[in-house]
Structure 1
């Protein structure tokens, strides 16, 4: 995607860089996200693959960021060990402390009758995904409903933005959601888009990639060289996004 298109879509609010650090004898990938919004604190988390994600104010110094990482080196080693021991690609148990994904970030599931002071059933607070219920057997249903609501809102917003930016899209296409096991999205001959609800667990750039892919099918209803030329023009880094989505797809879709 061109720099100007990125700026329009994200308001130039974030800057992402990649590097690596050595922690506990292992070299870890680090994604640094600098925010121009009113962010005052640095935060650190591990993604689903065990890499580090650091969020920081735009003006944060390298020394501050490195200090945060190395002060938390014991926690990082312990958490990576827990991730490695956690079964992969199997069904969720929906128990307290389990890791769940949302927009590419991993959150710790917290369940209880008094985890939130209001009537919300599900909410993200810092690094935790809170589910307020007295009935453990409804946790799965509450989360599925919440994921669907978040997906509808987020996908519709991104679809509206890209529909304005891509010159061959005249109106925002109709959108429906489905929980699918083998496809991220589809575009019908009538121009209706369908997106996988599970996609809300992927990173924002992966979501954008799928939306752009389906919007390109409005112009080229195939995977011809002309189709890929459209993809290259709209999102030059789409191949990286596709590879990222393929790498984490099994984790995202597991129930």
Structure 2
């Protein structure tokens, strides 16, 4: 029989068929424990051992909640929420917008222009450094992925990458160029990325939690 008991921000679920205990943190800041262990003291001990990991995840959630993007007032640019006053031309256009759809249209045009201005030189830098040349480089807005590389050697980058910090932008560039040698996510692929970005694991983990919008 399965039962749940909530204490503060902890959601405990007894799972007798589980072989292991799983602890996760939701985007709402709840700590979820799913475990075949029924003893409360043992569960508390497990949580204490994972305290640092839990605190790190809760801190990230708090930071994202605090640093909220407000369409029409700020723009997510190079890893920060920047007041539109920093971009007078864009701010002027947005003041005339009547709907969120129009606002997004101008945002996407801004990202496209910035991507075409910024990304080619960074791509060229890493292509030269890695000795890997794509047959073609393309830029377009994508909703579900930051970049892609196909079997023909065509590398495509999401113009919404301009929402990200330069550190994450560089990771996406190196990641897609590495696919020119390894069309998979094998150990050899990640090792190649790590040769040029030693923080590869951290950057990959962080990007899993960031989505284009």
TM-score (norm 1): 0.52
State the 1:181 CA deviation.
Answer: 2.1
Greater RCO between the two (CA within 8 Å, min separation 6)?
A: 1
Picking from 75, 82, 97, the partner of 1:136 is: 97
Higher mean C-alpha displacement, 188-197 vs 225-234 = 225-234
Classify the secondary structure of the residue corresponding to 2:192. Answer: helix
Classify the secondary structure of the residue corresponding to 1:150. Answer: helix
Kindly report structure 1 stretches of 4+ aligned residues shifted beyond 6 Å: none
Measured in 2, the distance between the counterparts of 1:153 and 1:134 equals: 25
Classify the secondary structure of the residue corresponding to 2:208. Answer: helix
Measured in 2, the distance between the counterparts of 1:222 and 1:85 equals: 35
Q: Show the counterpart of 1:220.
A: 182
Picking from 203, 207, 213, the partner of 1:245 is: 207
State the 1:109 CA deviation.
Answer: 2.8
- 5+ long unaligned stretches in structure 2: 1-55
Matched-pair contact (CA < 8 Å) for 2:141–2:160: yes
Q: Show the counterpart of 2:118.
A: 154
- Go from structure 1 to structure 2 and tell me whether the alpha carbon gap of 1:186 and 1:149 turns closer, same or farther (over 3 Å shift): same
Structure ID, larger Rg? 2
Matched-pair contact (CA < 8 Å) for 1:177–1:194: yes
Is 1:198–2:160 an aligned residue pair? yes
State the 1:243 CA deviation.
Answer: 2.0
Is 1:104–2:104 an aligned residue pair? no
Classify the secondary structure of the residue corresponding to 1:106. Answer: strand
- Go from structure 1 to structure 2 and tell me whether the alpha carbon gap of 1:49 and 1:224 turns closer, same or farther (over 3 Å shift): same
State the 1:180 CA deviation.
Answer: 1.8
Q: Show the counterpart of 2:196.
A: 234
Between Structure 1 and Structure 2, the one with more helix by share is 2
1:106-129, Cα deviation, whole Å (9 max, x unpaired): 112349xxx84xxxx33xxxxxxx
TM-score (norm 2): 0.61
- 5+ long unaligned stretches in structure 1: 1-28, 30-47, 52-82, 123-129
Aligned residues: 152
